[in-house]
Structure 1
Amino acid sequence: MSFAEFDINFSLKGKIALVTGAAKGIGKAIAVLYAEKGADVILIDISDEVLTVEKTIRDLGRNTLVLKTDLTKRDQIKSSVERALNMFGRIDILVNCAGVVFLDDAENLSEEDWDITMAVNLKAPFILSQFVAHQMIKQKAGCIVNIASQAGFIALDKHIAYTASKAAIIGITKVMAAEWAEYGIRVNAVSPTVILTELGKKAWAGPVGDAMKKKIPVGRFGQPEEVAACAVFLASDAAGMITGSNLVIDGGYTIQ
């Protein structure tokens, strides 16, 4: 990859982005900010709430496509990528954001919850990246951003399956980055701490949240827009020398 001048405002103008888990939370924030930065955005989610995000992006003057997709089904992933390429002709940015978490002690977590976690959090990003990479290799350019977690490299109580899936995401990010760099494809991960999505607000309310915040040097949890800002930077030409990295957004939690 050769150096290219970049827009200091981290513009994504003219880019085509595909974002999973785009209906709410971090995925929604990334999709909307990408549109604000000039990208056309393909929205993948299984929830009808994604239609609200579609309207927001259209109101921003960008093109968009909603693909209701069960990410545990390989055939649906393949069909969604094909539909996206039929409409836009290319995919410049892929954000693997969709995820699930089932909380339980390691000795009690069910096999079903383990399997669902691995299917959505690990297998789906791998399969989707494979399909999209075939197109990016043809293009000789592309960027993949995998949303991992601080749980991918530290221990969190009751997060056994989630931790395993996110540790694996960080691992496959490095392998994909190494193998696909020769084709002009960059692959990076982003690892947030607790982010105040709707689910995050409920899960970390009250004393449990107060105790957790005391462990974070900056003294607060993150916002979806802060993760989105990092995802914009990594997808922009300004990050042309960054691949195989894991950008930690944790307010200093893991430096202690």
Structure 2
Amino acid sequence: MNRVAVVTGVAQGIGRRVAEVLAEEGYALVLADIVDPVDTLAAVRAAGAEALTVVGDVASEAYVNGLADQVRERFGRVDVLVNNAGVSLLVPAEETTAAQWRRVLDVNLTGPFLLSRALDGGGGSIVNIASIAGLHGVSDRAAYNASKHGLIGLTRTLAGEWGGRGVRVNAVCPGGVRTGMDAADQASGGYTDEDIVERVPMGRFAAPDDMAQAVAFLANPARSGFVNGTALPVDGGWTADASWTSLRLRKR
């Protein structure tokens, strides 16, 4: 049987591209999203992958447990879990409501915890999609930053707890990525293209494929079999460069 990967948040953006790349590499896919990911399902099947969709909210323990039951009934095991589902919130801390805070933490942090716990089969790879906002503070993102810092902490903790039984747990930390989430955040007035492009030494946004290739590397034990507990920035050098903008731009 092909290796089996569960990917959450697959309807668009990073999650969809992760599913497509894993399908191209021969995985069977379980596609999880709060909406029916019909286009992603068609894409992975066109790539020759066996695929199952399970629609629901990753913040719901009942949904997660039901998903785990369906996965085991259909495939018998899970080799890779990609915790990608997430929500963004660009609101000053003093204006963030308790309900907004809880929702962001529930989806971005509690969901990965529930899925990791439910699908742990004593081996394989878990890849959490965190953010450079989990490595540094970014203004007007208190809830989002807290969730991604927490996700990196969860990554490291599970790597320590579960590494001894063969489970590798790592995180990918994207910088600015061209996705539907990015478009929505920009439409809210949170930032512009120039804010990202001028900040990144490589001078561009990332594409979803940049993240998907990093996930594929961390998922594959033949390529990353001794990589465990890392938070890998895939950000074009954003977190490496503390230069002021005029100096950085003079280097291009």
TM-score by structure 1 length?
0.90
How far off is 1:191 after superposition? 0.3
The amino acid across from 1:186 in the alignment is R
The amino acid across from 1:38 in the alignment is G
- Aligned residue for 2:27? 39
What is the CA deviation profile of residues 175-215 of structure 1, one whole-angstrom value per residue up to 9, with x for unaligned ones?
10011111111000000001101221343479722123111
Q: Distance in 1 between matches of 2:230 and 2:202?
A: 23
The amino acid across from 2:203 in the alignment is G
- Aligned residue for 1:89? 76
The answer to whether the aligner puts 1:132 opposite 2:141 as a matched pair is no
How far off is 1:126 after superposition? 0.2
> How many positions carry a matched residue from both structures?
238
- Aligned residue for 1:215? 199
- Aligned residue for 1:253? 238
Q: Distance in 2 between matches of 1:55 and 1:104?
A: 36
Q: Distance in 2 between matches of 1:199 and 1:167?
A: 19
How far off is 1:56 after superposition? 1.2
Q: Distance in 2 between matches of 1:72 and 1:155?
A: 24
The amino acid across from 1:32 in the alignment is E
In structure 2, the gaps of 5 or more residues are 243-252
TM-score by structure 2 length?
0.91
How far off is 1:155 after superposition? 1.4
Q: Distance in 2 between matches of 1:123 and 1:68?
A: 17
Cα root mean square deviation, aligned: 1.4
Q: Distance in 1 between matches of 2:22 and 2:228?
A: 19
SS of the counterpart of 2:108?
Answer: helix
Q: Distance in 2 between matches of 1:78 and 1:30?
A: 23
SS of the counterpart of 1:107?
Answer: helix
How far off is 1:72 after superposition? 2.1
Q: Which residue of 186, 189, 192 corresponds with 2:171? A: 189
SS of the counterpart of 2:5?
Answer: strand
**What's the % identity of the aligned pairs?**
37
- Aligned residue for 2:210? 226
In structure 1, the gaps of 5 or more residues are 1-12
How far off is 1:41 after superposition? 0.5
Q: Is the 8 A contact 2:127 2:171 kept in 1?
A: yes
Q: How does 1:86-235 map to 2 (within 5 A)?
A: 86-133=73-120, 136-137=121-122, 141-204=123-186, 208-235=192-219
